[in-house]
Structure 1
Amino acid sequence: MSRNVLVLNCGSSSIKYQLIDADSGAAHATGLVEKIGSVDGVVTHREGAESARIEGAIADHAVGLTLMRQAFADAGEDLNDRGVIAVGHRVVHGGTTFTGPVLIDDTVVAEIGELSVLAPLHNPANLVGIERAMANFPHLPHVAVFDTAFFADLPPAASTYAIDRALADRHGVRRYGFHGTSHSYVSQEVASFLDRPYGELNQIVLHLGAGASVTAIRGGRPVDTSMGMTPLQGLVMATRSGDIDPGALFHLHRVAGLSVDEIDTLLNRRSGVQGLSGVSDFRDLHRLIAAGDAHAQLALDVWVHRVRAYLGAYYVLLGSVDVITFTAGVGENDARARELVTADLEGLGIAVDAARNTAPSREARVISPDGSRVTVMVMPTNEELAIARATVASID
């Protein structure tokens, strides 16, 4: 019998969902509830080759979940008849409180709420989704899976900011890391694909999407990651700046007159590739570059420079590297980006075979030449499956 898990990822105005068989990995259905709080909300539901769309006002997450259930029923079978054994929830920030998946109860709900101060853009929305889903599915166990959990044991040298220690401790100022569910899943899948013991591999995982991060993993444990106290630190992203001199923020406040909230919006929503080029999608970026747009070319150059800088730093940190893996939207699908990131690194044992790199595929694959000192791979991430598996493990 299938052990199906309903996986929910709730944002402030959206609900992403999947119904997944945690054992086989099959996604029976996927969907997205968009524009919650709007009169022109949309639910898009897919099962196999079939898709359906519901349009209309979606007042809140409770209505969104009701419409999700309607979409399942319209597709032929109510969710109650789908063999769902649990609901798994993506939660962005677990702080130092949650170091692994946890069965949700009233205490956990309260603690996730308290952690909202560390993730004001994410945790409140995650929490609303949890509360509404628990009301919709009161007889099912609900499990929270945290983006930060994989990095709970980062070495102190990697997790500590060099500011006043007492102040940092009092306000939770430290590096937490994010995309942990993806980095954990991908690194384990890489070991399985290569038929190598997970605990014996030194890996660098490049999660390159709209949000982007890189993690150094030694023997199955992360030793550093590019994101910090928030998902803003590190690589250049679609709309986020990544690393920036903190002094530049004081300058923008004092000289340009930007408020704290305006700086927050600037760095999270109007920076990165979007801020430099005017577009955030790499397909659009490549089209602009082909048309001779100098701003788009600079945006790509800055993006590549930052990725390579972190790649080199983590190579040194690990001492030796067995596998470098590309994952997420850009990492999995953009051969040109992979080519630029790995160019002229043969002296480090890193090379990419041009034919393998450009061959169309959505499967896990090695793209380095045979016999390379460092294996370079593309591994599709599947955070929803990872959440489903963690959910089942938490209730077994």
Structure 2
Amino acid sequence: MSAAATAGAVLVLNAGSSSLKYQLVQPDTEEVFAEGIAERIGDHDASITHEQAGSKTTEIRAMPDHLAAVEFMMGLFAEGGIDLGTAGLSAVGHRVVHGGRTFYEPTLITPEVISEITRISSLAPLHNPANLIGIAAARELLPDVPSVGVFDTAFFHALPDAAATYAIDRGVADLHAIRRYGFHGTSHEYVSGQAAEFLGRPYDDLHQIVLHLGNGASASAISDGAPIDTSMGMTPLEGLVMGTRSGDLDPGIVLHLNRVVHLGVDQIDTLLNKQSGLKGLCGENDFRTITEKMDAGDESARRAYDIYINRLRKYIGAYMIQLGRVDAITFTAGVGENAASVRADALADLEMYGIRIDAERNALRSREPRRISTADSAIDVLVIPTNEELAIARQAAEVVGSSSAG
């Protein structure tokens, strides 16, 4: 493939502690040239799955660190005819989970920015350090391509004070940057914008509830183009029941686990982030498996599902009250886009509020934006596939374009 074909494209990197998800996308045309994921980085049997030009391959090999993963990724691109070093990339866009109080816009990565992301990593110790590793690898191997950080918390930066503030001592909260930041912001912003476009209505005149339901899950209430509340808080642990995270719980439980059960802080962290949620309730966090188990009469799977739906309905109800008027409720992400039963049960028996689901529309599987409510439903219920990579690419390209123009 010629460099002209990829000129202006953005390489999007999402680095986890032992993974690297990537995509090469053209922000203007939305064309995806290649994408993939490296997993179990640091192990001798790490894997990388790469899709390019209609071909999908998976290789098992040693990848001692993220630098090695990026190097191998670049080799796979080259085998498919794309030399990332000479492809004319406009930027490398990095997903950074926590921007703290400092970063609320996509930001050109500089040594000073790296230093600040490092400083605030205590707010997201499971995520930001991994994001920084991806940034370092890209800057070393693609030194002539500007890197841009796009922050998960940015969309919720201007939450109303009443929604962003925890009811604890103000001095302690201010000193230690304790507030509700919200997460999945890139997805919520993208999907809410797509919902407005789908409905043919101005974004700044739409009252929406967006439900990002994946292994991590969050809800948001968006009024006239601005978020007024969201379910995740200072960390991604707050809110909905998730694949392995507990979501909301009495803070006294943490004290009890420490004082009475004698679990240390790290043990409690692991319990609530990796061993709770659906996995803690029934041993599974894959919704397909949970559904199969429910169909086979598994009581623990049914109980986990019911708890998941109960929490989801509580947030939907709360946000309906906060918004006052609701024009659209949109489901997105892996579970939201594919689990018809979750969509139906989350909005069951709400006809009195003007919500009516069309069973046939809801059962339809599609990768396209679609309406699943009936023609006479007062509130439009939509399924909009999220595309965080495209959103990151667009924001990164805009930052680089603005910088060049300046």
TM range (shorter): over 0.9
- In structure 1, give the amino acid aligned to 2:177: G
Partner of 2:63: 58
Distance 2:80 2:121 in 1: 36
Distance 1:162 1:115 in 2: 22
Partner of 2:113: 108
Cα deviation code 1:75-121 (max 9, x no counterpart): 23322343322100000000110111011111111011011010000
Q: Are 2:46 and 1:27 aligned?
A: no
Shift of 1:371: 2.8
Partner of 2:381: 376
Shift of 1:53: 2.6
- In structure 1, give the amino acid aligned to 2:160: P
The runs of 5 or more residues in structure 1 that have no matched partner are none
Partner of 1:324: 329
- In structure 1, give the amino acid aligned to 2:155: F
In structure 1, the residue corresponding to 2:38 is in which secondary structure? strand
Distance 2:215 2:133 in 1: 24
Q: Are 2:21 and 1:10 aligned?
A: no
Distance 2:88 2:60 in 1: 27
In structure 2, the residue corresponding to 1:53 is in which secondary structure? strand
Shift of 1:12: 1.0
Q: Are 2:234 and 1:214 aligned?
A: no
State which of 183, 189, 192 in structure 1 corresponds to 2:194: 189
Q: Are 2:181 and 1:176 aligned?
A: yes
- In structure 1, give the amino acid aligned to 2:348: A
In structure 2, the residue corresponding to 1:324 is in which secondary structure? strand
In structure 1, the residue corresponding to 2:182 is in which secondary structure? coil
Q: Are 2:316 and 1:311 aligned?
A: yes
Partner of 2:123: 118
Distance 1:363 1:211 in 2: 22
Does the Cα contact within 8 Å between 2:97 and 2:124 map onto a contact in 1? yes
- In structure 2, give the amino acid aligned to 1:86: A
Partner of 2:358: 353
Query: RMSD of aligned C-alpha atoms?
Result: 1.0
Partner of 2:85: 80
In structure 2, the residue corresponding to 1:166 is in which secondary structure? helix
Distance 2:194 2:182 in 1: 20
Partner of 2:242: 237
- In structure 2, give the amino acid aligned to 1:356: R
In structure 2, the residue corresponding to 1:32 is in which secondary structure? strand
TM-score by length of 2: 0.96
- In structure 2, give the amino acid aligned to 1:109: I
Distance 1:55 1:292 in 2: 38
Cα deviation code 1:22-67 (max 9, x no counterpart): 0011211001111111111111110142012332111111111100
Alignment of 1:241-256 (within 5 A): 241-256=246-261
Q: Are 2:165 and 1:145 aligned?
A: no
Partner of 2:203: 198
Alignment of 1:281-292 (within 5 A): 281-292=286-297
Q: Are 2:173 and 1:163 aligned?
A: no
The runs of 5 or more residues in structure 2 that have no matched partner are 402-406
Distance 2:242 2:400 in 1: 36
Q: Are 2:135 and 1:98 aligned?
A: no
Cα deviation code 1:215-251 (max 9, x no counterpart): 0000110000000000000000000000000111111
Does the Cα contact within 8 Å between 2:90 and 2:400 map onto a contact in 1? no
In structure 2, the residue corresponding to 1:369 is in which secondary structure? coil
TM-score by length of 1: 0.98
- In structure 2, give the amino acid aligned to 1:286: T
Distance 1:63 1:245 in 2: 42
Shift of 1:8: 0.3
Distance 1:42 1:9 in 2: 16
Distance 2:375 2:53 in 1: 36
- In structure 1, give the amino acid aligned to 2:116: E
- In structure 1, give the amino acid aligned to 2:350: L
Q: Are 2:394 and 1:389 aligned?
A: yes
Does the Cα contact within 8 Å between 2:53 and 2:80 map onto a contact in 1? no
Q: Are 2:301 and 1:296 aligned?
A: yes
Cα deviation code 1:326-362 (max 9, x no counterpart): 0000000000110100100011111110000001211
Distance 1:360 1:153 in 2: 36
Shift of 1:184: 0.1
Does the Cα contact within 8 Å between 1:52 and 1:71 map onto a contact in 2? no
Q: Are 2:288 and 1:280 aligned?
A: no
In structure 1, the residue corresponding to 2:61 is in which secondary structure? strand
Distance 2:331 2:66 in 1: 34
